[in-house]
Structure 1
Amino acid sequence: MIRSPLLHGLLAVVLPTSALAAGVRIDPHADLLYRQALTLLEQADNQNTSFTLKTSTTDQDLAQQGQALGRTLAPAVSLLKKAVELDHPAAQYRLALYYITYLPAAQIPAAACPLLEASMGQGFAPAALGIENWCPNYSRSEYRTALESVPNLASLYAPYYPQPAVRLLCHREQPQGLAMQWGRQRDYQAEVYRLLASADPAQSKAYWQKAVDINGCIAAQRRLASNHY
């Protein structure tokens, strides 16, 4: 795909200096694909909620519900994959989250970790939680560097929130059943500080305090109260 010099010039103006310095570029076509996928993912979420509220749970009903959900998710996944081919960090995360949600546990690391690591490498905070749970082989030094880059990219990623996660330890509201938790940017920033506290014992108290300051992180409050940093 050919892009005009004018478009590149406009992107250079729009993207914050910190993002450009970090080498993060979001392809505009990838962003369009990602936004189209979000519309379908939202429809799938609404379908899933509707299915949960229904009282009928016969095998036929469950099969029909699964087929309907699959018809909605399939084009969304296709769009996410196309955005991933263009290295879109939010699309990488959402495709990984799809694999985490729908694949058997044994298949998740191979499918999701390359996506999570690529997203985290661009400083997209939500990917950090998936890496924590599923990707023990990810370089700890690269992980630490990526975590530290998150605050510098806050302006670039602000339009991409809220984002879903399986579990946010710093979120005040507990997850209900199999439903995802949706976090704002500051919620994920608190999670990053929580993870940095675990990665850097010497500075853990300061990081726990930052997590508390930014969203009142319950997990961090408990650690500070216990004096176990």
Structure 2
Amino acid sequence: MFSACRYISLLCLLPALALADEVRIDPHADLLYRQALPFLEQADARSRALPLTPEPGDQELIGEVEALGRILEPAVALLRKAAELDHPVAQYRLALFYITYLPQNDIARSACPLLEASIRQGFAPAALGITTWCPAFSDSADYRQALERIPLNNTLYAPYYPQPAVRLECNRQQPQGLNMQWGRQRDFQAEVYRLLGTIDPGQRLTYYQKAVDINGCLPAQRRLTSQR
């Protein structure tokens, strides 16, 4: 028989366990996402080969861009199908495509619903796009709660890393051209703690220290140093 103390402790754990268990990735959606990955990898390799300062009217470059589009077309179609089935990683990668290739005025409308759906399921990379493109959500209590819940799903999402991002603030390597920065799970977790530090003054130093402990996050380290 449980002692009263152990019983109370178990009750305290139930909310956290429920939150951790509520994310379910549809197997068919996951298959669609996996089928998109080879096309995304090919597109990433081609984008790395594009010149950083293209010459106007460069026909070879135009051909490369058109080839990149042909590679991305089936990837985007598969990601859309997976995203419709609420696959959080596919939602993020589709949003990242929109952020990279859509006109700036169209990005928020297309990407924000995907990013919000992804982070509500605890997928850390979605947090970065939200801060830039989705101010209404990033200023909400729901956003902070989503950030705080991300560690509950670390085990679930571990096989999906590394992941690309437009900019990882805690990564010293600067992105070049259309190239993405690739981060490990711990890199994105550091970004989450850095973001929490920016929106929670009361716990700011604690969150910044966590970001530094995880991957040596330089912006968080600078803020810690300036406040001591």
What TM-score do you get using the length of structure 2 for normalisation? Answer: 0.87
**In 1: Cα distance, 2:223 partner to 2:108 partner:** 29
The residue aligned with 1:3 is none
Q: CA deviation at 1:58?
A: 4.5
The residue aligned with 1:208 is 208
**In 1: Cα distance, 2:126 partner to 2:95 partner:** 9
User: SS in structure 2 opposite 1:164?
Assistant: strand
Indicate how the Cα distance of structure 1 residues 94 and 43 shifts in structure 2: closer, same or farther if over 3 A, else same.
Answer: same
Contact 2:19–2:152 (CA<8 Å) still a contact in 1? no
**In 2: Cα distance, 1:187 partner to 1:105 partner:** 27
Contact 2:44–2:179 (CA<8 Å) still a contact in 1? no
Q: CA deviation at 1:45?
A: 1.1
**Deviation per CA, 1:126-169, whole angstroms, max 9, x where unpaired?**
00000001000116111011000111110000011111111111
The residue aligned with 1:186 is 186
Q: CA deviation at 1:25?
A: 0.4
Q: Unaligned regions of 5+ residues in structure 1, if any?
A: 1-16
Q: CA deviation at 1:46?
A: 1.3
The residue aligned with 1:112 is 111
Give me the CA root mean square deviation: 2.1
The residue aligned with 1:167 is 167
User: SS in structure 1 opposite 2:60?
Assistant: helix
What TM-score do you get using the length of structure 1 for normalisation? Answer: 0.87
Q: Which moved more, 1:108-117 or 1:134-143?
A: 134-143
Indicate how the Cα distance of structure 1 residues 72 and 178 shifts in structure 2: closer, same or farther if over 3 A, else same.
Answer: closer
Work out whether 1:48 is the aligned partner of 2:47.
yes
Contact 2:197–2:208 (CA<8 Å) still a contact in 1? yes
Number of equivalenced pairs: 212
Q: CA deviation at 1:67?
A: 1.3
User: Letter of the aligned partner of 2:183 in structure 1?
Assistant: G
Contact 2:48–2:178 (CA<8 Å) still a contact in 1? no
Q: Unaligned regions of 5+ residues in structure 2, if any?
A: 1-15
The residue aligned with 1:142 is 142
Contact 2:47–2:179 (CA<8 Å) still a contact in 1? no
User: SS in structure 2 opposite 1:137?
Assistant: helix
User: Letter of the aligned partner of 2:172 in structure 1?
Assistant: R
User: Letter of the aligned partner of 1:218 in structure 2?
Assistant: L
**In 2: Cα distance, 1:169 partner to 1:20 partner:** 28
Instruction: State the percentage of identical aligned residues.
Output: 66
Work out whether 1:221 is the aligned partner of 2:225.
no
**Deviation per CA, 1:151-193, whole angstroms, max 9, x where unpaired?**
1110000011111111111112222333211010000000000
